[in-house]
């Protein structure tokens, strides 16, 4: 029996998120079914991030135990032809038997994509939320800087969360733009070791309000202080969110081992 770490990429449009649901197709359910059928074992994967319905991923990670004799780094190539085209295992490799993707320290990188154009371009719309008024990106960047570091993010946590503490650390927040047609795409990149429920989408909604001039960048400090979900901006739609990668920071004695190897 060996434990395999897989990196998983998916277009979340057609899925009710990662985690198995009684009603509705999920990425976890498809992976369990396909891996079980292919390996002829009862495979139950453990995912690192239970992304919400409609959220995309380029590098979510998960583990499962198997007795297969297929070389660990070839499992991805062997299984992919049996997965639907909107899910792909990007890499596979053996890890320690006690490696648990939610218990290991890791840094997650999310991106929220905004199509800032007068009229949405259909080829961009599938993976970006459209905001038509011109956003002040500099104000958004300034607003974002108040969120970097360790704070109580209670204002940025959707109700219904079962988190024990709402203190989290945002290790980086950058905003990139690229020209598209008559406007641009604005990408909010957020890194951190852990995020609260809907936190990235609420941060994005808050930065968009700063970008619209509804409040000045420094108001974000007040929002943090309020510790009240109502103080922050709206939860932006799922389709603009993508989990880019998860870097393992600490695994047993090792430091900075990337989950992306091999």
* CA 260 distance to own-chain centroid: 15
- By the rule CB under 8 A, 53 interacts with its own copies: no
Using alpha carbons, select from 245, 206, 258 the residue that is nearest to residue 111: 245
HSE-CB at 77 with a 13 A cutoff on CA atoms is 5
Candidate residues 23, 69, 182, 230; the one interacting with its own copies per rule CB under 8 A: 182
C-beta closer to its own copies: residue 129 or 245? 245
- Determine the size of the site formed for its own copies (CB under 8 A): 31
Of residues 110 through 169, those in contact with its own copies by CB under 8 A are 118-123, 125-127
- By the rule CB under 8 A, 108 interacts with its own copies: no
C-beta closer to its own copies: residue 154 or 201? 201
Query: Which range of residues in 5-13, 163-171, 213-221, 227-235 is near its own copies by CB under 8 A?
Result: 5-13
C-beta closer to its own copies: residue 50 or 260? 260
Query: Which range of residues in 44-52, 53-61, 158-166, 217-225 is near its own copies by CB under 8 A?
Result: 53-61
Query: Which range of residues in 3-11, 65-73, 200-208, 228-236 is near its own copies by CB under 8 A?
Result: 3-11
Of residues 218 through 257, those in contact with its own copies by CB under 8 A are 242, 245
In the complex, least distance from residue 42 CB atom to its own copies, rounded to whole angstroms: 25
Please pick, among 52, 65, 73, 86, the residue that the annotation labels catalytic. Answer: 52
Query: Which sign does the torsion angle of CA 11, 91, 256, 196 carry?
Result: positive
52 is catalytic: yes
Beta carbons of 241 and 203 less than 8 angstroms apart = no
C-alpha span between 247 and 171 (Å, rounded): 13
In the complex, least distance from residue 77 CB atom to its own copies, rounded to whole angstroms: 8
In the complex, least distance from residue 149 CB atom to its own copies, rounded to whole angstroms: 27
Candidate residues 35, 48, 87, 131; the one interacting with its own copies per rule CB under 8 A: 87
In the complex, the residues that contact its own copies under the rule CB under 8 A are 9-11, 56, 58-59, 76-77, 80, 85-91, 118-123, 125-127, 180-182, 242, 245, 260
Active-site residue set: 52
């Amino acid at each position: 029996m060996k434990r395999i770490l897989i990196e998983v990429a998916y277009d979340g449009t057609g899925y009710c998120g990662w985690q198995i649901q009684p009603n509705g197709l999920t990425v976890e359910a498809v992976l369990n079914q396909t891996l079980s059928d292919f390996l002829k074992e009862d495979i139950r994967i453990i995912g690192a991030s239970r992304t919400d319905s409609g959220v995309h991923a380029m590098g979510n990670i998960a583990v499962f135990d198997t007795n297969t004799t297929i070389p660990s780094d070839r499992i991805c190539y062997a299984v992919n032809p049996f997965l639907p085209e909107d899910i792909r295992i990007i890499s596979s490799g053996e890890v320690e038997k006690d490696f648990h993707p939610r218990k290991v320290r890791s840094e997650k990188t999310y991106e929220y994509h905004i199509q800032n154009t007068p009229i949405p371009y259909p080829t961009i719309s599938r993976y970006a939320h459209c905001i038509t008024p011109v956003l002040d990106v500099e104000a958004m960047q300034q607003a974002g800087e108040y969120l970097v570091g360790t704070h109580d993010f209670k204002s940025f946590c959707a109700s219904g969360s079962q988190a024990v503490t709402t203190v989290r650390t945002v290790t980086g927040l950058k905003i990139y733009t690229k020209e598209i047609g008559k406007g641009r795409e604005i990408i909010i990149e957020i890194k951190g070791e852990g995020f609260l429920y809907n936190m990235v989408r609420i941060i994005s909604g808050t930065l968009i309000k700063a970008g619209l001039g509804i409040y000045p960048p420094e108001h974000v400090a007040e929002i943090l202080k309020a510790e009240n979900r109502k103080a922050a901006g709206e939860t932006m739609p799922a389709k603009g969110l993508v989990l880019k990668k998860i870097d393992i920071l600490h695994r047993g004695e090792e430091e900075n081992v990337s989950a992306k190897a091999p």
